[in-house]
Amino acid sequence: MGICVVGLNYKSALIEIREQLAFSREEIKSVLCNWSDYFADNEVVLLSTCNRTEIYISESGDGLPDTGQVIGYLLKQKSASQPVSRDVSLFLPHVFLLEGLSAVEHLFSVASSLESMLLGEAQIATQVKSAYQIALEAGTVGTAFNRLFQAALKTAKQVTNETDIHKHRVSLPSIAVVDFALQIFERLEDKKILVFGAGEMGRETLQYLCDYGAKNITIANRSIDKAEQLAVEFGGRVADWGNRFDLMVNADLIVAATGASDFVVTFSDFRKVEIRRGNRVLFVLDLAVPRDFDPLIGGLSNVYLYSIDDLQEACARNRAGREREVPKANQIVLRNAQDFIRWLNGRPSGVVIQKLREQLEGLKNKEIERLFNKLSDLDEREKSEIIYSFERFIGKVLHLPLSSLRDESQNGEPNKLLTALAHLFRLDND
């Protein structure tokens, strides 16, 4: 059985490309549920975050699907909810394909935040777990991917516990606040903070803003309930989403982190707001993918607009302080990935070994029954000794050939021995 991952991330594609293949939770479930209508019955998990969209696929009887077909399928599914380019050739230069051990290593590295824009960031393990759970709900996870994603999450926990990758943890919101917002505003106590969205990214950014003194906070979100929960947590106010442009007139700092599929503030929208603002400085952290603010707004005077990609330089500085822990973390990832591949390669041999043991167990039981019928005066101790001797004999006879079979399986080439063993004992006729 083979495994591959097809995807793109912040290393391979700019945000303009990534946002066209960014999927919400509902869209992910639809992609997975519709998969079998276009491809074979693979095990499939789709991971979509701010910085990556990656689809993990198991091999079926028809092999692994073509990369172009996978991207074409994702674009077709995405186009059902919003207009995106259907030209696969525009995306293929930014797409990577990894197979086998490389695919498993990649997943384990992603879950352990070794592939994150910000090394050691906390959210990615939760996002991997969420992607796995959505696939469970969609019914696209079987034995192999259950084990694969559980192993990935276990690896992430091991990296956290055994290295200093996550010590003094710094997230994208913390960099946005400390390295960007505080360079524009020396203090936040007197600034009017406006938050669009009430998800985890907005919540975490608010936490850092409040840590640095922010007090005047207004939250606008399409779901009033979520906005109210966030307002209670941070002592803010809730405003109607439809009034967001009026709210922008007096804002000093805006955090935009909605799940919208298109701009929530277009250039023309902002031009109307700008007239009412006068010459006051506005700082905007657009942490959404797809982006919430039209990037053209950043070209206006007195507007400081930063998207996730603008945080990369600061992330690189942060990463340098943690690089010394990467080799240790990579060793954990590689060791666990190799263990998984050995298990995966050993699955066919496990079936054959089980069949052989069942066959020999049946023969043993028949011979013991025949012997006990012939020797009717045996007591229970003598019978137990005979049964034990049969079992020891079978175990010793099988030990070396089964050890060889397991060794070959772990090296990824068990087929010849498996075929010979199955044919020799006629196991393939069961």
- Which residue out of 4, 50, 210, 315 is catalytically annotated? 50
Bridge partners (DSSP) of residue 46 are: 55
* 90 and 1 Cβ atoms separated by less than 8 Å: no
Helix axes 123-138, 25-34, angle to 10 degrees: 40
First-to-last C-alpha distance (Å) of the chain: 21
Nearest to 227 by CA among 183, 191, 257, 265: 257
The C-alpha atoms of residue 71 and residue 53 are separated, in whole angstroms, by 11
The verdict on whether 50 is a catalytic residue reads: yes
The C-alpha atoms of residue 75 and residue 53 are separated, in whole angstroms, by 12
* 227 and 220 Cβ atoms separated by less than 8 Å: yes
Q: Using H for helix, E for strand and C for coil, what is the string for 263-312?
A: CCECHHHHHHHHHHHCCCCEEEEECCCCCCECHHHHHCCCEEEEEHHHHH
Active-site annotation, residues: 50
